[in-house]
Amino acid sequence: MAHGTVLDVMVFNIWHGGNLDKFWDGAAFNVVHRHGFEEQNKAELLEFLAHERPDLILMVETYGLGERIEAALNRRREDGRVFRGVPITREQGQLPGRDNLWLFTWLPVEEVYPVVSEPPVTSFHFGGARLGLPGGGHVHAFTAWISHIANAWGPVNQAAMESALGLERSHWDEELVASDDPRRREMARTILTERVAAFADDDAPVLLGGDLNTQTHLDWSPEFADAPRHEGLVLHWPVMRMFADAGFADVFRTAHPDAARYPGRTWTAGHSFMYAPMRLDYLLARGDVEVLASSTRTRRLPEHRGGALDELYPFYSDHGAVVSRLRFGGDREGYRPERPLVEEPEIVEWPEIPKEPAGRRVPRGEMSVQASSAASDHGASLAVDGDPRTSWHSRAQPSPPDPHPHELTVDLGNERTLAAVRYQPPIDGYQGIVTRYTYSVSDDGQTFEPVSSGTWARDSLPKDVLLPGVRARYLRLTAHAGVAGYSAAAELIPYVRD
């Protein structure tokens, strides 16, 4: 048997301390939706962490939950592991609930590295500790959060969807890559050339994990241009290239080099994976580290599924967790987890974009539409304007937004015999993808009769419902539930019999 120590390491951004969309802004809690699920989600999140109980957790957005996480990890100690939580974010004058970065481990904490608060990287963004290894030696473990400004995931998803739908792209490859804006690149440079260099000044292994708010050249290389949902995009992301050039290996992609078969999606587990696969969360390793396995966690535990919280947020956070098994060399036998090797990663079955339903589209100039709720810049008319790049969206501001149900009512201009209706969710993001619906029809616009209801997948694909022979002048979509607590439609397209 090989010498050394085997450890399970988790990287996890827990979204406002498990509070979902209720967050502390330094003075008070801001509540986006008054759904009341914050405490239930935190309790289930703690149960999830106690169930996983990896040897080391590199955590982002801990925000006041650190002590409870430590207690949850120590609910059982029959294996002799006693966990310690180490706050990494320790700024002078730090406000309550702003303790962004932590690490949790049972390994000996030999040194917590001092805070360096020199912009653009403070302890809010980066820090770590030296941890002793049972097999001898030590490892440098760092938790990181890099700026989310100028996100690329929305434009990348839109570019992929536009290509798939045969539309002219709004953003080309160079524009998408440029979203790794100077701030993100400068933060990565500072982390690599100043912080890691100062603390990890020996030949010991280095782990760096967290929410890096970017994507990787390894996933979007020419080799994978024809991978499912990539639609020919080749994107040479500069930030992750900087880490690779500094000797860091992407642990998940090391374990699973085939980005087509194993996309490793983490964004956005708590909302919708949209169309194009997105990774924002990484464990990086440098030095004498052997990658044995890696997989993601993007679904609530079975005992937490099926209720109202699960319908609104199918995972504990907007980010998925990444769990990896690593072996560290040493001159003697160290520790090995008792549980089996972490389970295989997600192999995605990619449904194709459905063919257009039979029938003739009602000309958009003959239709008008009204909504029971609409954002000021996303009015109802955008759902029937023939352009999937624009969308109707239920009112979002000021908080709290209008609760479900939301209604979108189309006047077909005159009485028609319907064949089908297509609902196209927004193609530039996840908010408002309708997940539970009813279609109703009316002759007079006052009395509506339901003709179809059901649930839809949480993705950007068009959703078709056949309504053969249904005769009506008015067609109403009622959204009973939607991703992130909103409703939206890029297009609502009625089809009529020729």
Whether pLDDT at 26 is above 70 = no
Instruction: Report how far residue 424's alpha carbon sits from residue 440's, in angstroms, rounded to the nearest whole number.
Output: 18
Whether pLDDT at 1 is above 50 = no
Q: How many residues does the chain have?
A: 498
Indicate the pLDDT class of residue 24, thresholds 50, 70 and 90. low
Give the model confidence (pLDDT) of 439-460 as tens digits: 999 999 999 999 999 999 999 9
CATH architecture under which domain 360-496 falls = Sandwich (2.60)
Choose among 302, 323, 322, 300: nearest CA to 313: 300
Determine the pLDDT at residue 346: 76
Give the model confidence (pLDDT) of 298-338 as tens digits: 999 999 999 999 999 999 999 999 999 999 987 778 899 98
* Domain ranges within the chain, ordered by starting residue: 5-328, 360-496
Instruction: Report how far residue 289's alpha carbon sits from residue 3's, in angstroms, rounded to the nearest whole number.
Output: 12
Whether pLDDT at 474 is above 70 = yes
Q: For residue 232, what is the DSSP state?
A: T
Instruction: Report how far residue 117's alpha carbon sits from residue 100's, in angstroms, rounded to the nearest whole number.
Output: 14
- List the structure tokens of 410: 């189309």
Q: Span 5-328: which CATH code?
A: 3.60.10.10
Q: Helix/strand/coil (H, E, C) string of 139-204? A: EEEEEEECCCCCCCHHHHHHHHHHHHCCCCCCCCHHHHHCCCCHHHHHHHHHHHHHHHHHHCCCCC
Choose among 378, 387, 428: nearest CA to 176: 428
Q: What average pLDDT does the structure give for the chain?
A: 94
